[in-house]
Amino acid sequence: MLDFLFKTRKKEQGIWKYADFYAEKISKKDRLTAGDGGTELLECSKIGKKVGVGHLYFKREDENETGSLKGRSLAYQISLNKTRGGKAVVISTSGNAGIAAAAYAGKAGMKALIFVSPDTEKSKIAEMQKYDPVIIRSTRAMRLANYASAKYRLPNLRPSLDDESIEGFKSIAFEIADEAGEVDAVFTFTTSGSSFIGMHRGFEMYKEIGKIGKLPKMYAVQAGEIFSVAEEFEENLDLIKSAREASGGSGPAVRAGQCGIKHTKRKKEILEIMNRTSGRGIYASEKEIADAEKMLLQEGIQTSLEGCASFAGLMKVAHSEKFRKAVCIFSGQKRSAEKEIDDSKILTAGNFEEADKIIKQLI
């Protein structure tokens, strides 16, 4: 059976190489692809030597066609909604998930209602606009998206809310194990935890079928105003406190994950995974992230601040733990902030009534 599954996967592309491992099976005709998945697992021996890791790998999720690892989850989520006959989807986003949602909804011929805050980076909105979704700007983006989803019975694809988002992320673990075999540790920036949990479940599945003999330690790295997991580990508390005090109490100034969800419903499961795998939560300071970014740039590697934070987390742990093989997830691209957007195509809604007027004209 195992040989059959592996032979079948070789004929597929991206996350669909692993279609047989997902919770709900999706027929080939409904499997959407926009070039996400199959990203490079870059071994960097020079940096590995500097930080004391035998084999250091960077999983280049920032090289996905839609620009981040979110493309994996949205490929699965929207393909699943396509099988169910869906015509429209809703998501509130800080950027990356919105780009992927717009791309895959376009592939599926669905209407994508994307709610963004006024703080969303222009470069990310510009990427969304390539796929012609409906972008609605609001200071209450998440609340209005939840309202639209409930009232109009539209799937809400936000990873922090949709458990089906976890499935596509399993493919990251499968790809790592297929290429590097067993690894000792995985470091990844964590907000809602859907990608963290998905990767762990992928490794668990591979262990169950004998593809790997042990699970990697899972490390959830957080920074800035995102610390709901990291604060459960005493060694992070002074650093979190210092960061908050340095910003005058308004919240740490670190930009990594700045628009991500601050309190996740998946916190308990994330902590359980770290406990089972002997991993832990790590808080990376602004200086630590800057130092990590500098080291990467010296080797010609550019990635998002969240990716740099993941590497900063590894650098902190590598002082006390020795890893034969460790992987840092570079979750998204570092985008130029100078891209122009078409403001005339962005709608605005300040309350439920204004959102209703927009949605009723579209669906």
How confident is the model over 312-363, as pLDDT tens digits? 999 999 989 999 999 999 999 987 766 789 999 999 999 999 999 999 998 8
Q: Tens digits of per-residue pLDDT, 172-185?
A: 999 999 999 999 99
What fold does the segment set 41-65+164-330 form as a domain? Rossmann fold (3.40.50)
The C-alpha angle with vertex 344 and arms to 71 and 160, in degrees rounded to 5, equals 30
Question: What are the DSSP calls for 114-178, one per residue?
Answer: EEE-TTS-HHHHHHHHTT--EEEE-TTHHHHHHHHHHHHT--B--TTT-TTHHHHHHHHHHHHHH
DSSP summary character for residue 1: -
Range of lowest pLDDT (3-17, 40-54, 227-241, 286-300): 3-17
Dihedral of CA 232/235/236/240: which sign?
A: positive
Sign of CA dihedral 67, 69, 72, 73: negative
44-56 average pLDDT score = 97
State the Cα–Cα distance between residues 110 and 122, nearest whole angstrom. 24
pLDDT band at 33 (very low <50, low <70, confident <90, very high): very high
Strands 185-189 and 217-223: parallel
Question: 88-93 and 346-348 as β-strands: parallel, antiparallel, unpaired?
Answer: unpaired
Residue range 98-157, pLDDT digits in tens: 999 999 999 999 999 999 999 999 999 999 999 999 999 999 999 999 999 999 999 999
Mean pLDDT for the chain overall: 92
Rounded to whole angstroms, the Cα distance separating 16 from 75 reads 9
Largest Cα–Cα separation, the chain: 59
8 Å CB contact between 135 and 61: no
The one-letter amino acid code at 249 reads G
pLDDT-derived band at 13 (thresholds 50, 70, 90) equals: confident
Domain(s) of CATH 3.40.50.1100: residues in the chain: 41-65+164-330, 87-154+337-360
Integer-rounded Cα Rg, in Å, for the chain is 20
Exposed, middle or buried by CB within 10 Å (0-12, 13-18, 19+), for 222?
Answer: buried
Residue 8: the pLDDT is: 43
Arch. (CATH architecture) of 87-154+337-360: 3-Layer(aba) Sandwich (3.40)
Strand (E) positions, the chain?
41-43, 53-60, 88-93, 111-116, 134-137, 185-189, 217-223, 281-284, 323-330, 346-348
